[in-house]
């Protein structure tokens, strides 16, 4: 009976040691995944900032085109109206 108890205690200690190793390995794995995710999040933040910048540039360029076309259209209409006014 005493031997059985000692064997059981040894088995428990072995299981505890294995669990400790697994916990340590899992902790290391989690830290590794956290580091990778942190890098990926940083890269995504950089891409978002880059896309935001490109969007702002595109928006500014679009505004310039719209204003330019509007001025051209106004000039053409004014010219046509002046031409028509001189014919009358």
Mean pLDDT by 10 residues, the chain (88 residues): 81 94 97 97 96 94 96 95 83
Give the pLDDT score at 45.
96
d(CA 46, CA 40): 10
Q: Is 61 helix (H, G, I), strand (E, B) or coil?
A: helix
Burial group, residue 23, by CB count within 10 angstroms (0-12, 13-18, 19+): exposed
Does the global pTM surpass 0.85? no
């Amino acid at each position: 009976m005493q031997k059985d108890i000692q064997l059981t205690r040894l088995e428990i200690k072995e299981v505890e040691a294995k669990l400790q190793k697994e916990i340590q390995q899992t902790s290391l794995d989690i830290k590794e995944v956290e580091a990778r995710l942190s890098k990926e999040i940083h890269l995504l933040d950089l891409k978002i900032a880059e896309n935001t910048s490109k969007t702002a540039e595109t928006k500014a360029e679009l505004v310039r085109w719209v204003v330019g076309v509007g001025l051209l259209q106004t000039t053409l209409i004014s010219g046509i109206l002046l031409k028509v006014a001189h014919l009358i």
